Amino acid sequence: KDSLIYLMNLRQLSVLNSLRYDGGTGHVDLYVDMWDENRFVFSAFPESCSSWVDYKTVTKNIDTLCSYISIHNNNYKKSYIPFPKKDNGSDFTTQGDYNNNYTRTYSNHTFVNDVIVQPVFSKVVDGEPSAQWDKDAMDELRKVYPGYRIMPIDVSSFDGLGGAIHCITKQIPADNPIRI
């Protein structure tokens, strides 16, 4: 921590609590996106998840992030986006069900200019997800990210493997990686 503060010339460095069931990624982008220098966008876990260990960790981490003052000397603002549903449109009911079969999140997207490449979990037809719950989530995302075009990509084929669009576009896993 001291080395990072020194090397990056930081005023402060906070290390958030890790999720227990994040597929081994350690990635905060499974539940939060820093939209700009003043605003965080968080995944809104449904109340049915409130007994989960990770729900409690995420809630504490949200409180921690929002307690800081931005570079512009303002409190950070926050918005919420929906938490994905199961294929049948129902909420996840247990931590085990979610973590053993899925690791869905709408937070794990990638910005490319004025487009958000957005993970969805149902087949995309004519530029829109086919499941109503995915469509509803896209409507909410459009409200939270005004001015961006949302491009849904069905990532259900690698659902449960510890990430989505942001993870796979930022890292290329390899046993013998090329370093530049």
Residue-wise pLDDT for 82-119, tens only, equals: 989 988 998 888 887 777 766 788 888 888 899 999 99
What pLDDT, on a 0 to 100 scale, did the predictor assign at position 48?
85
d(CA 43, CA 83): 6
Q: Does 180 have pLDDT greater than 70?
A: no
What pLDDT, on a 0 to 100 scale, did the predictor assign at position 147?
93
Pick 162 or 150 by higher pLDDT.
150
Task: Give the long-range contacts of residues 30-36, CB within 8 A, separation 24 or more.
Answer: 30/103, 30/105, 30/107, 30/108, 30/163, 31/58, 31/61, 31/105, 31/107, 32/61, 32/62, 32/65, 32/107, 33/107, 33/109, 35/79, 35/144, 35/145
CA geometry: angle at 144 spanning 84 and 92, to 5°? Answer: 15
Q: Does 178 have pLDDT greater than 70?
A: no
pTM above 0.75, yes or no: yes
The answer to whether 145 touches 35, Cβ cutoff 8 Å, is yes
What pLDDT, on a 0 to 100 scale, did the predictor assign at position 175?
67
Give per-residue pLDDT as tens, 16-44: 888 877 766 677 777 888 888 888 999 88
What pLDDT, on a 0 to 100 scale, did the predictor assign at position 141?
94
DSSP state of 157: G
